[in-house]
Structures are given as structure tokens and as C-alpha cells.
Amino acid sequence: MRPTLGTAIAVGAVYAAVLGAAFLSPYDPAAQHRDHPLAPPTRVHFVDREGRAHLRPFVYAGDREEGDAVPVRFFARGVDEDGSIGSRRLLSVEPPANIFLAGTDELGRDQFSRLLYGGRISLGAGLFAGALALTIGLLLGCAAGFFGRWVDGAVMAASDLFMALPWLYLLLAIRAALPLDVSPGRALASVVLVIGIAGWARPARLVRGVVLSARTRDYVTAAAASGASRARLMLAHVLPEAFSVAITQASILVPQYTLAEITLSFFGLGVGEPTPSWGTMINAMLRQELSAAHWWLAAPAAALVIVSLLYHAVADALHQRPAGALR
Amino acid sequence: MSVVRVVGRSVVVRHVVRAVGELFAVSIIAFAVTGLAPGDVFGEARLERQLSPAAVAAMRSREGLDRPFLARYARWVESVAHGDLGRSVAYGAPIAPLVARRALNSLVLVSASLATTWIIVLPLGVWMAARDRSADGRLLAAGATALIAVPDLLIAIALLLAAAATGVLPTGGARAIDPADAGGLAALGDRLRHLVLPVAALTLIAAPPLARHVRASMLDALRAPYVVAAAARGIPYRRLLWRSALRAAANPLVALFGLSFAALFSASMIVEVVMSWPGLGPMLLDAVRARDEQLVLAGVMLSTVLLLFGNGCADVLLRVVDPRITA
């Protein structure tokens, strides 16, 4: 019995966490705590120095576990930098104490908050790019398989070309066509566009294959013989088969495209600072060359490994399900 | 058995013709895509206060950037015919000499990694298949699966950080000694030392999925009726494994060899950038950042050429190994 449900729940939890970044993160991802550069992760205590246990967790005000005990607040509204009342956050502490669950980077920005917001960019880009590539692939693949002849020839020739290029070189070539210095929103959109355009070929080929084989199935022939229109044949009989291929493909493509976003922003071609992405965070970790002394800078790498393992588990489970059903 | 007779000239010729056609199409698409990009290499110059807009316009027209798309493409084709591969505006020089050394470095890295990967993967995969029913074989297979889930980028970074921490191996570049200063042997040793880290990274990236594939093909081959029959006749297991099964599994493995070239080539881009190996990858990245249209084009085209060359070689090899394939 494979832990299918467990991994699905875990992946869902990761997406929920990055989606709820504004609530789950203790700080604004761009806020710089200039007095606390490269601070180690703040430890949350339940037992104080005198050995007394407390029901409410607390942290010590100093970076090195010194100073007064400051209780952790739950569901409190913070005060933004401009002095206005901010949104509710799950965890916060009264300044001057800090709660850096994964330490801070060289500018004193809270890594845990950046991890959540950066995950929103990286995982979100993977999801949207996967949806885009699958949509293009589904449309072109269906068209190629259904209309055949020159449509088929043109789509297959184009997909040959896209698959003839090495994946990362293709990404860079398409990235070269889009502006470099733009607002975070437009940068994210262009990254999604680049990856989606670069990745349509494989799903299109697979969908074409499915459509070609579905067209010759008895029930499709029967539907055609009883006078179903071409549109109805396509929508009611052929497309559902293509969808199941698309779902299995999604489990492979979304991780690949998440990595593509991370690689692009690692190269400095994705969403720029101060908006965090896991790619820029990993780049910062490399640039600092501090990782041995400041191990918490490896947090984005650790998060990426965990998410990759989860993705692989899901893809494995999806792939083995049809085979298992036959056995 | 004469290779030439088995392969037949027509196959090679057909490959070359097809590759040339594909390259032509890639060049048009890549040219159009990079040409569409807003802004060009003089985008920065326009911000410079000492330069008047007229001066920038003069610079653009001297490089021919103000001419229409088809004229620029024609000029590029002409320069390719001259063997220049176009002109890099950022470097102010013809591209061919710039790119030749980069492409050679990439090729050295990829072929060295290809060799080490297969030297490791072939015995490892066979061994994993032979020990499929015991704990150690299964453990190794599980380890390979786990390693597949670790992103390429992180493998490269982890090796780089490990090398930086121990200081045993150089962490960047292709050489530290100028061949003009030292003897041939010392220069060669220096180059080999610089090659170790990127080759190790690429091997670690490429080997796990390949080892799994080798194991799977070997398991299939070991289940084939004639192998079972050979075992029943009392042929020693070792001979069975290396002679009968491996030969039967050779076909998918050779196809895999071609695919592994493509995978290594794409992954080498990341490794080259992370470990500052002076190959095509970092050059293309810089060209994209500098908006150096023709250099981007040259990088994309060259990577395609190398990839098509690798795939062609694999196809020819497949025909040599398996004379049944004639199409």
C-alpha cells in the first residue's frame, strides 16, 4: 500500500502554506531588521531558565538567548513599518524581541517569511506554467490527432523543433525575447509564459497519440456511425481520454516547471529583489559562502528538497495506479 | 562486420540533411524570437548622459540593428556562410572565435561526464538487477530513486560548497596555470583537477535515473524465456548475466545512451554556471542579460548542433548494435 493519501495531503499543505503566507509569516518578506543581520533561528521555549514550565510559549529578547522572556502572541495584529495596523498574523512577538523561525539573511530579513512568500512565486509559477503548457498541448495535440493531414504535420514538425533544443537553452532563448527589468507581477507573468511556451511540445505529442488511438475505438466509431457531429465526438468521446493523460503529465510537468522558475531566478532572469523566490534565495546562499557558519541560509534548499521528494512521491503514485488496477 | 556496410551511407546522409533542415528552422525561430525582444544591447547606452540620442542611433545603425528583420537575417546567414557566425555587439567581435573555445569546453565536460556516468552506471545497474531479491540491491535502487528527486541545481551547489569547505579541489574555472608558463604535463594535470568537480556533479545528476533504467532493462532481459532456458541448461549465472542478458538489454540501453547525452547537455548548463566552467552555458546567460542578439542565437544554434550530433551518433550506434533496424 503506497502512502498516496498522505503525500497528497502533504502537497496540499505546502500549497496552502504558501497561499496563506500573509497570515502564517511573522514578518513582511521585504522588511529589513538592520540590527539583526544573519541572526540564527530564534528558539521558542516552553521551559524557562529556572526550569519552570509555561503554557504559553515564549522567546528571549536577545539574539543569543539572553534578555527577558517575551511571550509569543497568537492571531495578533502587527504594526507595519509606516505605523499603520497590519493584518493578523499567526505568530508574532512584541518588539524589541524577534521571532525569526529560520533565522535572517544578510539584510536582516526574516527567512521563514521569505520562504513562504518565495514559495508562492516558485510553486505558483510551476502550477500556472504547467497549466499553460498543458492547455496549449491539449489544444494542439487534439487538433493534430483529430484533423490529421497538414495540421498534424505542422504541429509535429514544430514539436520536433522544440524538443530538439536542450531544455534549459530553450528556456534561455525564449527568456531573451522578454524584457529584463520589469515589475514583479510582470516578471512572474513572463516567466510563466516562457516556461509554458517552452514546454508545450511533450504534452502535445502525448495527447495526439491518445487522440489517434481513441479515434479508432469501437465506441467512437459507433458514435460517428450514429451521426454524432465532429465537435461532439471530440468533446464527449476523445477529450475525456486525453484528460487522464494530461493529469498524469501534470504530475511530471509541475515539478519540472517549478524547478525551471527556480533555475531562472537563480540565474537572475526571474522575479527580482526584493520579491523573494526560492531561486534568488538559493543564489544568495551560494553568493554568501557563509553556509557552513550560517547553516540556516540553506533553508530554501531544504524546502526545495522536501517539496521535490513530495512531488516525486505523487508522480510515482499516479503512474502506478493504472498498472495496479490491471493487476 | 563492416560498420560502413551495416549503417549504409544513406542513413548518415539522411541524418545530416534532416539536421540541416532543423537547424535552419531553429535559426529562423530563434532569430525572430530574439528580434522581437524589446530593447537591445544599447539599452544601457541610452541612459548614459554623455551620449546623445543621435550618437546611440549612429551606433545602432553601424551594427545594423535599425534594419528590418529580414535584412538582418540575410546578413546573419551571409556571415554564417563566411564562417563568422555573426557579430557580437557586446564584444565588438565576430562570434565564431568567441564561441569555439566555449563550445569545446562544454563538449569536453559533457563527454567526460558521459564516459564516467556510463562506466559507473552499467556495472551498477547490472549489479542492482542481479541483486534485486536481496536487501543491498533494493537499498541501492531506493537510494538512486531518492537522488533523482534532488534537483540538479542543489547537487551542483552541494558539491561546490563541499569542495570550498575542504579546499581539496578548485571551485571554479577550467584552469589556474597558463599553459605558456608551465610544462605540458603540469598544465594537463591542472586542467584535469578543474574537471573533477563539474564532472562529479554531472555524473551524480545523470547516473541515478540511468542506473534505474539499466536495472529495469536487465530485469526484463533476465525474465526472457531464452535466458531462463539457458539457466535451466546450467549455464553459470555470471555468464548468463554478462553475456546473454546484457546483450539482449543492449538495445534499449543504446537508445538510452543518446537520451543521456541530451540530458547531460542540458544539465551541464546549470553545472557550468554554478561552477563557473567557461562553457556555452555562462556565455549564453551573459548574452541574454546583455541583450546580445546574435550571441544568444549562436549559443542556441551551437547547443542544437551538439545535441543533434549526439542523437545522430546514438542512432547510428543503434543500427550497428542491432542489424534488425533498417528503417
pLDDT tens track for A3-57? 577 888 888 888 888 887 777 777 777 777 777 777 777 777 777 777 777 777 7
Contact (Cβ atoms closer than 8 angstroms) between residue B170 and residue B193:
yes
Tell me: pLDDT of A182 over 50: yes
Among B266, B265, B276, B263, CA closest to B160? B276
CATH T-level assignment (fold) for domain B3-321: MetI-like fold (1.10.3720)
- What does the alpha-carbon distance between residue A130 and residue A10 come to, in Å, rounded to a whole number? 20
B148 CB near a chain A CB, below 8 Å?
Answer: yes
Give me the DSSP letters along A63-79.
Answer: TTS-S-EEEEEEEEEEE
Radius of gyration of chain A (CA): 25
Domain boundaries, chain B: 3-321
Among A111, A123, A167, A121, CA closest to A272? A121
A291: which chain B residues are within 8 Å (Cβ-Cβ)?
161
Cα dihedral A285, A295, A274, A178 in deg (nearest 10): 30
Mean pLDDT of chain A: 79
* Cell (9 digits) for A158: 514544430
Question: Chain A, 280-319: which have a CB under 8 Å from a chain B CB?
Answer: 282, 285-286, 289, 291-292, 301, 304-305, 308-309, 311-312
Per-residue confidence (pLDDT) for residue A132, from 0 to 100: 92
Global pTM?
A: 0.82
Q: Let me know how long chain B is.
A: 327
A53 DSSP β-pair partners: A47
* Cell (9 digits) for A246: 494530461
Cα dihedral A78, A83, A87, A92 in deg (nearest 10): -10
Q: How far is A56 from chain B (nearest CA, A)?
A: 38
Residues above pLDDT 90, as percent of chain A: 2
B299 CB near a chain A CB, below 8 Å?
Answer: yes
Among A319, A316, A326, A265, CA closest to A7? A316
- What does the alpha-carbon distance between residue B263 and residue B282 come to, in Å, rounded to a whole number? 18
Q: Which residue has the cell 498522505?
A: A6
B67 φψ region: left (φ > 0), alpha (ψ -120 to 50), beta (else): beta
- What does the alpha-carbon distance between residue A250 and residue B185 come to, in Å, rounded to a whole number? 52
A323 CB near a chain B CB, below 8 Å?
Answer: no
Q: Nearest-CA residue of chain B relative to A175?
A: B288
| pLDDT tens digit at each of 327 positions of chain B | 455 555 555 667 777 887 788 788 877 777 777 666 655 656 555 555 666 767 767 766 766 666 677 777 787 788 777 777 777 777 777 788 888 888 888 888 998 999 999 999 888 888 888 887 888 888 888 888 888 888 888 888 888 888 877 777 776 666 666 656 666 777 777 778 888 889 999 999 988 888 888 888 888 888 888 888 888 888 888 888 887 787 777 777 877 887 788 788 888 888 998 888 888 888 888 888 877 777 888 888 888 887 787 777 777 777 777 766 655
- What does the alpha-carbon distance between residue A261 and residue A171 come to, in Å, rounded to a whole number? 10
- What does the alpha-carbon distance between residue B284 and residue A171 come to, in Å, rounded to a whole number? 11
Question: Chain B, 106-145: which have a CB under 8 Å from a chain A CB?
Answer: 145
Q: What is the pLDDT of residues A268-320, one digit of tens each?
A: 887 877 788 888 888 887 765 655 677 777 888 888 888 888 888 888 777 76
- Tell me which of A168, A202, A310, A312 to substitute to probe the interface with B (most B C-beta atoms closer than 10 Å): A168
Per-residue confidence (pLDDT) for residue A326, from 0 to 100: 33
Contact (Cβ atoms closer than 8 angstroms) between residue A116 and residue A17:
yes
Question: Chain A, 69-108: which have a CB under 8 Å from a chain B CB?
Answer: none
Give me the DSSP letters along B87-99.
Answer: EETTTTEEHHHHH
Residues above pLDDT 70, as percent of chain A: 89
